[in-house]
Structures are given as C-alpha cells and as structure tokens.
Structure 1
Amino acid sequence: MKLIGSLTSPYVRKVRVVLAEKKLECPFVTEDVWSAQTTIGQDNPLGKVPCLRLEGGEALYDSSVIVEYLDTLSPVGRLIPPPGRERAQVKTWEALADGVLDAAILARLEATWAGRSEAQRSPAWIERQLGKVAAGMAELEHGLQHGPWLHGSHLGLADIAAGCTLAWLEFRFPELNWREQHPRLGQLLERLMQRPSFANTRPVA
C-alpha cells in the first residue's frame, strides 16, 4: 500500500493516525494538490487527498472509506464497531467531525484563496460556514457529557476524527479559541495528543 497526502490535511492525518493505531506499515508520499505539477489526478480523478494506492494498483479515496478499510486489515485496536446501530453512531460522529472541517475549510478558502480579489470575497458565506462550525462543535462537546470518549469506553474512530478536526482548527483558526467554550473537547484533544499516533502527525505548515 501507499498513502498519498499532505502534512497539513486533517483528512490525511485521520488516515495516518488510524494506520499508527492499527500498527500498519504504509509508505507516505506527500503531494501538493494545489501545485500546477500535481499528479494526484492519476490516482484520484477528484484531485483530492488522502488517496490510498493498494497493492493491486487500484486506489481508495475519501478518508472515511480508507479508514473503514484499514480497520479490517488487523484485529489490533478495533476502531469501528460491527455493522449495526453502534457502527452507525460512530460513523455519524465521524461525519459530524468531517462536516465541521468541510465548513471550516470552505470559510478559509473564501477568505484566503488567491484566485479571488478582496471585492469578490463573501463575508456572508464565511459567516454561514463558521455557523456550521459552531453548531458542530457544540454537538461534539455535548457528546462528551457522559464520559471521556464520544462512543464506548475506549478510543475509537469517532474520537480520532474529532481530534483531527480540533487540532486543525487550532492550526488554521486560532482566533476561534474554541477551548473556552468547549472544555470537554479541549480535554479530549489533550488526551489524544499524549498518544504517539497524534503526537507524530502534527500538521506542518
């Protein structure tokens, strides 16, 4: 296998964390999808990372698809429950965390993308996306009211997805200062950062 991605992408980080937690060896190849010289289209027609190139040459893309596949490769540290209601709940938490990221990234691109002038940027669009971020963060905080993990009694995919989102928000949106409003999420990220899988995958600008 070969993982293609960037050192700043939170979606790529989610896959890298899962690989580490599952103790799976996989070469990591960095790719700048914004570069004119990018070749990511040869592996993913959508031009996005992460992308996992399998031994047979076929590719998997979208972080949620990749991590679900990786969880089946080893019985070590199961991160997703078997099919059923619990699995759906964990995947819903993952979707929420990824959705917060989707909105935050759209807000950042609207504010910083070099392809638009200042006059072309839409403060209303940015505000709408940040509203989704705020609502999603509140729901994640609420999910931690009964224990240290979002689902079950140990680390799972829900927590990994949330942790990658939280860390990226601190990396790209420090002005949000989300820890003040969401202390449980702050504690979750602190717990996660004690794990080598998170400590060794910090985003690099």
Structure 2
Amino acid sequence: MELYGSYTSPFVRHCRIALLQTELECEFIETDATQSAALSPTKKVPLLVDCELTLTDSTSILTHLYELVGEGFLTDLEEVELYHMTNTVLDACVNLVLLEKFDGITAEKSVYLTRQVGRIETGLAAINDKTLSQALPLSQAEMRLAIFLEWGLFRSKIALDNFPALQQLLDLAQTDPHFAQTAPKE
C-alpha cells in the first residue's frame, strides 16, 4: 500500500494515525499540491493505492484500513454526525487557508469567506456543547475533531478560548502517542 499526502493535511493525518493504530504496512509518500493534481482525479490528498484499488478521500481510506483489520468505522449515528459536522467546519477552514494562500483572498475581501468564518464559529460552538470523551481512546469522530482543532490552531484559523470542552478534548488527544507522533509541521 502507498499513501500519498502531506505532513500538514488534517485529512492525511487521520489516515496516518489509522495506519499506526492498525499496524498495516504502508509506504507514506510526501506529495505537494502539484503532484496531487497529477496523481488524483480529485486533485487533492490523501490518495491511497492498495494493489488495484485507488481511494481518493480520507473517509473511504479510513473505512478501507479499518475493514482490513476487521474493525468498523463510524458505526454509530451520533459519531457519524460529529464526524461530518467536524468535516464541515474543517472544510470551511481549509477554504480560508487555500484561498488566502493561492489567491490572496481573505474573509475581509469576500462575502463567501465571511460566511465560512461564521460557519466555523457556530460549528465550534455547537460541537463544544456536545458530550465528548473524558479519557482515551477517542472515537473516530473525536479523533477527527482533535486533528481539526490542532490543525486550525497550527494555521491560526481558530481559537479555543471560548470553547473549553474542545480545549479539553485537544489536551486529552495530545496524550495519545499516535496523535502526538503525527502532529503537523511545516
């Protein structure tokens, strides 16, 4: 198996954590935006190649990895909701980062990006009100949330001052060896 991605992508990080958890053999191939555009029909990372199988989305990759070891992925409706709500907020943050990086557009110059900032704030507030784990192991949805939170802080796109439950979850996640080992770095 080969996983293509970057060390900073939160979507790739979740796949890297899954590989550590499952102990599956897989080569990680660092890939930039230009390379991913050539490799993947979706022009993004992660990309997993497993023999004849090619997967182009982190959720399908995660599902495949856990199925290979006989485990389910997102088997509870509340977990599915938290996972997808987190992805919605994460996608809004990704929009902010990429439009600023590639086009120089910030929320101050864009009605669309201003809406994304609002989506991030209301999404974080709603997730902060949910019941989250107080001990390891985190659920898959909570792992995705913790990955997003650390990435959002790393990219300076969120603050957790007003979200104590989210800060508590991130603090807990940072005690997980696989989470700590895969922390984003430039």
Match of 1:98 among 80, 83, 87: 87
- Identify unmatched segments of 5+ residues in structure 2: none
Question: What residue is the counterpart of 2:145 in the other structure?
Answer: 162
Q: Which moved more, 1:17-26 or 1:162-171?
A: 17-26
Shift of 1:40: 4.6
Question: What residue is the counterpart of 2:127 in the other structure?
Answer: 140
The 5 Å alignment of 1:1-16 reads 1-16=1-16
Question: What residue is the counterpart of 1:201 in the other structure?
Answer: 182
Task: Provide the rounded CA distance (Å) in 1 between the counterparts of 2:19 and 2:27.
Answer: 11
When residues 160 and 117 of structure 1 are mapped into structure 2, their CA distance, relative to the original with a 3 A threshold, is: closer
Q: How many residues align?
A: 185
Shift of 1:161: 0.6
Task: Provide the rounded CA distance (Å) in 1 between the counterparts of 2:94 and 2:126.
Answer: 19
Task: Provide the rounded CA distance (Å) in 1 between the counterparts of 2:172 and 2:118.
Answer: 27
Question: What residue is the counterpart of 2:156 in the other structure?
Answer: 173
Task: Provide the rounded CA distance (Å) in 2 between the counterparts of 1:93 and 1:79.
Answer: 16
Match of 1:48 among 44, 50, 53: 44
TM-score, normalised relative to structure 2: 0.88
When residues 81 and 107 of structure 1 are mapped into structure 2, their CA distance, relative to the original with a 3 A threshold, is: closer
8 Å Cα contact 2:14/2:144 also seen in 1: yes
Q: Tell me which structure has the larger Cα radius of gyration.
A: 1
8 Å Cα contact 2:2/2:27 also seen in 1: yes
- Identify unmatched segments of 5+ residues in structure 1: none
* Root mean square deviation, CA, Å: 2.3
Shift of 1:45: 0.7
Identity of aligned residues (%): 29
When residues 51 and 183 of structure 1 are mapped into structure 2, their CA distance, relative to the original with a 3 A threshold, is: same
TM-score, normalised relative to structure 1: 0.81
Task: Provide the rounded CA distance (Å) in 1 between the counterparts of 2:56 and 2:49.
Answer: 9
Task: Provide the rounded CA distance (Å) in 2 between the counterparts of 1:41 and 1:111.
Answer: 22
Deviations 1:55-95 (A, max 9, x none): x23211111111111111214xx56354xxx2x32222111
- AA aligned opposite 1:140: I
